[in-house]
Amino acid sequence: MKKNTLFLRTINKELVDRPPVWLMRQAGRILPEYKAIRAKLTGFKELVKSPELAAEVTLQPVDLLKVDAAILFSDILVIPEAMGLDYEMIEARGPFFPKTIQSKSDIDQLLTGKKAADRLDYVYNTITEINKHLPENIPLIGFAGAPWTILAYMIEGKGSKTFSLAKKFLYAEPEWSHFLLDKITDSTIHYLRNQVKAGVQTLQLFDSWAGLLSMEQFNTFSLPYMQRIKEAIPEVPLTIFAKGAMLQLQEIAEIKPDVIGIDWNISPLRVRQWLGADTVLQGNMDPCLLYATPEHVFEETVKMCREFGRNHIANLGHGVYPDTPLEGVKAFIAAVKSISYLE
Amino acid sequence: MKKNTLFLRTINKELVDRPPVWLMRQAGRILPEYKAIRAKLTGFKELVKSPELAAEVTLQPVDLLKVDAAILFSDILVIPEAMGLDYEMIEARGPFFPKTIQSKSDIDQLLTGKKAADRLDYVYNTITEINKHLPENIPLIGFAGAPWTILAYMIEGKGSKTFSLAKKFLYAEPEWSHFLLDKITDSTIHYLRNQVKAGVQTLQLFDSWAGLLSMEQFNTFSLPYMQRIKEAIPEVPLTIFAKGAMLQLQEIAEIKPDVIGIDWNISPLRVRQWLGADTVLQGNMDPCLLYATPEHVFEETVKMCREFGRNHIANLGHGVYPDTPLEGVKAFIAAVKSISYLE
C-alpha cells in the first residue's frame, strides 16, 4: 500500500507542507489528449468499458497537469447497469435509461450485492492497468455514486432539474424507497470493496443530487446509507461529497467520513467555523472561476487555500466544466503548489 | 389601500389566528380552468400580454382554491424584453433569447429605467383589470426577478443547469457586470413602482438562480441590488426569495426585507434558530410533497406550520410543479387553514 503520498498524509493529519491538489472530472473533458482518444471511439461508454483506454485517460492529468491524485475514469451509473438497468449516454444530453424502476416487482428483479458487483470486472481491470503505470507518490481514488443519487437515476431514467419523479417516489413509496436504497447500498459496498482489492487507495462517494432533498429527506434517505458504506469499508479513507447539502455539514461530519467534500456555495471560513480546524476538507473553488484570467485564478486559489488552512485537499466545488480553458486549470494547480504552510 | 387582509396583517405582525396561504405559481400550470384558457392561445406570452386573460388566470386560484393572496400572472423576463432583448417561450423547453449580451456596447444599447418600465403597460393594465374583480380581503402580489437572475438570462440566453456563461461573465467582466446589474436594477425599480401605482399591495423579488453563486458572489452581485430595490420602494412590503441561498439567510435578513422566502432545503426549525421568532418567513414545503396522499400532505403541512410558529406565510419552497395533483394542492391549503394559533 502506498502511504507516503501528500494526499494520504493529509488525510492522516500528518505535518505536510502544502495541500494536495486534484480536480473532480480531471480525467476526461478538458485535455486535448483525452479528446483525441475519445474521438476514435463510438462513445463514452466504450471508453469506460475499455480498461487500457480508461487507464490511459486516468493517467493523463497526472502526467500532463501534475495533480497529486489520480481518479479512476468511470461513471457512477455502472452500478444501476450492473444491477440490471442498462443505460445509454447520449452525446450532449446525458444518460438515458430505457427501462426505469416503476414498481416493487421491478426492484425485486434487480441483481444485488456481490452478483451485481461481480459484473464490473472491466472497472477492476482498469484499476490494475492504471497501477502498472501510476507513479509511486500518486494515490488512486476509486468512487461510486451515493445510494440516493443512484436511486434518483433509476427512477427518473435521465438527468432532471428537479428529479420530481424520484422525489415523488420517496414521498409516495417510502418503504419501497428504502428497499431499493438497501439493494443499491449492498451492491455499492461490494463494488467499492472490489475496487480496494483491485488497488485503489482511497474512495469517494458522490451524492450529486443531495441538494434536491429536504433536510429530513437527506437524513432519512441519503445519510444512513452513506454511513453504512463508510462503516462497511474501514480499510481505506472515504470522502463524502454531498453536493448542495452544505446546510447539513454537521450531520455529515457525525457519520465520520475521513474527508468531507465542500461545494462552492459555502465559504471556507464558514465551513471552518462549523466544523473546526481539525476536519479534513476537500474543495471548493467555483469551477466557473477557471474562466477568469490566470492571474485572477491564481490569486483566488491562494486565498481559498489560506482560508481553509491545514487539513485541506484543494479541489473544485464541482466537476470541472467541459469548456474550461486549460490555462485556468493550470493556474489553479500552480497556485495550490505555491502554498507553503511553513511560511 | 387594502390593509385588513390576513396576509398584510401577518406581515404587520398583528395578532392573527392562522398563517395565510398561497402557492408560488398558483396562477397557471395546475388548474384545468387555466389549461382551458391556455389551450385557446398561441402561447404563454400571448397570455402574459392579454390583460383580460392574465387577470382571469390570476383570479382563478382565489376563486377555486380559496388562497389568501393573488399573484399577478406574468413573467420575470418581461424586464429584459422591455430593455431590448426579446425572448421566445418555447413549449416544454423554456425561454430563449435570440440575441444576448456579449459586450459592453450590447449593454450600452439597452433601454433602461423609466423608458424600459414604460413599455410594460400590459402588465399595469392587467393589475387594473384584476382589481376590478379581486375580493376585498385578498391582496394582490406584484413581482419581478432579482437583478442577478435577470442578468443570468440576458447573458446565457436560456435556462441552464450551471449558467456557466453568466457566471463566467461575473468573473471575467466584473465591471460590466455591475454596469448591467445597475441598469437592470434601475429598470426594475421603475417597473415595481408602476406595479404599486397600478394597484398591487405587496411585492416579491425572485432570485431564482441565487443558488448558483458563491457566498462572495451573492454578496457582491446579488444582495446589494436587492437592497437598492428594497430601499427605493418603501410604500409596500417586499418579500425576498433567494432560492438556493439559504446559507446566507442572515445576510438577507440584514437588508431588512419585510418577508424572507424560504426554500425547502432548510428546515423551519433551523431557520427560526438563525433568524428568531420575530422575522416574517414565507415557505417552505417541498413541492414534491404534494404528490403524496392527501392525508400525508395534510399531516406534513400542519407540522411545517407548527415548526414555523407565528410570523409565517404558508407557501411551497419553490413554484408548484405542473403535474401536481389538485388533491395535493387542496390538502396543503386545507391543512394551513386548519391551524389555529389560539389553541
ipTM of the complex: 0.93
- The answer, for A295 touching chain B at a CB cutoff of 8 Å, is no
Residues in a beta bridge with A203: A142, A238
The three cell numbers locating residue A295: 492571474
| Closest CA–CA distance from residue B150 to any residue of chain A (Å) | 19
Q: SS3 of A204, please? A: strand
From the list A64, A85, A58, the residue with the least C-alpha distance to A141 is A58
Look at residue B96 in the predicted model and tell me its pLDDT: 97
Confidence of residue B160 (pLDDT cuts 50, 70, 90): very high
* Least confidently predicted of A2-6, B158-162, B241-245, B260-264: A2-6
Write out chain A residues lying below 8 Å of B264, CB-based: 214
A215 vs B244: CB contact, 8 Å cut-off?
A: no
Q: Which tens digit of pLDDT belongs to each residue from B49-97?
A: 999 999 999 999 999 999 999 999 999 999 999 999 999 999 888 999 9
Closest to A168 (Cβ–Cβ): which among B162, B170, B288?
B288
- The answer, for A211 touching chain B at a CB cutoff of 8 Å, is yes
B171 vs A246: CB contact, 8 Å cut-off?
A: no
Q: SS3 of A208, please? A: coil
Q: Scanning every residue of chain B, which has its alpha carbon at the shortest distance from the alpha carbon of A265?
A: B214
Q: What is the mean pLDDT of residues B267-271?
A: 98
B247 vs A264: CB contact, 8 Å cut-off?
A: no
- In angstroms, the CA B194 to CA A44 distance is 53
- The answer, for B267 touching chain A at a CB cutoff of 8 Å, is yes
- In angstroms, the CA B152 to CA B154 distance is 6
Assigned CATH for A6-338 = 3.20.20.210
| Paired sense of beta strands A94-96 and A88-90, if any | antiparallel
- In angstroms, the CA B2 to CA B307 distance is 29
Q: Are A208 and A95 in contact (CB under 8 A)?
A: no
| Closest CA–CA distance from residue B287 to any residue of chain A (Å) | 9
B3 pLDDT exceeds 80? no
- Give the residue numbers of A annotated as catalytic, written as ranges: 25, 29, 38, 75, 153
Residues 158-177 of B with CB under 8 A from A: 161-162, 164, 167-168, 170-172
Question: DSSP alpha helices (H): ranges in chain B?
Answer: 6-11, 32-39, 44-48, 51-65, 78-83, 104-108, 114-117, 121-133, 147-156, 164-172, 174-198, 215-217, 223-232, 249-254, 268-275, 294-308, 326-338
Write out chain A residues lying below 8 Å of B275, CB-based: none
Closest to B168 (Cβ–Cβ): which among A167, A247, A288?
A288
| Burial class of residue B80 in the structure, from the number of CB atoms within 10 Å of its CB (0-12 exposed, 13-18 middle, 19+ buried) | buried
Query: What ranges make up the beta strands (E) of B99-195?
Result: 140-145
B215 pLDDT exceeds 80? yes
Domain residue spans of chain B: 6-338
Using 50 as the pLDDT threshold, list the residues of chain A that sit under it: none
- The answer, for A308 touching chain B at a CB cutoff of 8 Å, is no
Q: Which tens digit of pLDDT belongs to each residue from A16-29?
A: 999 999 999 999 88
| Closest CA–CA distance from residue A17 to any residue of chain B (Å) | 28
**Cis status, amide bond into A311, omega within 30 of 0:** no
Q: Quick one: angle between helices A147-156 and A164-172, nearest 10?
A: 110
B286 vs A167: CB contact, 8 Å cut-off?
A: yes
A247 vs B265: CB contact, 8 Å cut-off?
A: yes
**Who wins on pLDDT, A251 or B1?**
A251
Q: Scanning every residue of chain B, which has its alpha carbon at the shortest distance from the alpha carbon of A323?
A: B164
The pTM of the full predicted model, rounded to 2 decimals, is 0.96
Write out chain B residues lying below 8 Å of A158, CB-based: none
From the list A276, A335, A266, A265, the residue with the least C-alpha distance to A310 is A276
Q: Are A59 and A85 in contact (CB under 8 A)?
A: no
Which whole-number Å values give the CA distances from A286 to A16, A316, A329, B168, in the listed order?
25, 6, 12, 10
B215 vs A267: CB contact, 8 Å cut-off?
A: yes
B291 vs A321: CB contact, 8 Å cut-off?
A: no
- The answer, for A216 touching chain B at a CB cutoff of 8 Å, is yes
Q: Which tens digit of pLDDT belongs to each residue from B113-156?
A: 999 999 999 999 999 999 999 999 999 999 999 999 999 999 99
B47 pLDDT exceeds 80? yes
- In angstroms, the CA A75 to CA A159 distance is 14
Q: Are A211 and A163 in contact (CB under 8 A)?
A: no
Mutate which of B248, B288, B321 to disrupt the A interface (most A C-beta within 10 Å)? B288
Look at residue A342 in the predicted model and tell me its pLDDT: 85
Q: Which residue has the cell 429605467?
A: B113
A171 vs B246: CB contact, 8 Å cut-off?
A: no
B291 vs A214: CB contact, 8 Å cut-off?
A: no
- The answer, for A274 touching chain B at a CB cutoff of 8 Å, is no
Mutate which of B176, B214, B222 to disrupt the A interface (most A C-beta within 10 Å)? B214
B168 vs A291: CB contact, 8 Å cut-off?
A: yes
Look at residue B29 in the predicted model and tell me its pLDDT: 84
B167 vs A323: CB contact, 8 Å cut-off?
A: no
Q: Scanning every residue of chain B, which has its alpha carbon at the shortest distance from the alpha carbon of A159?
A: B161
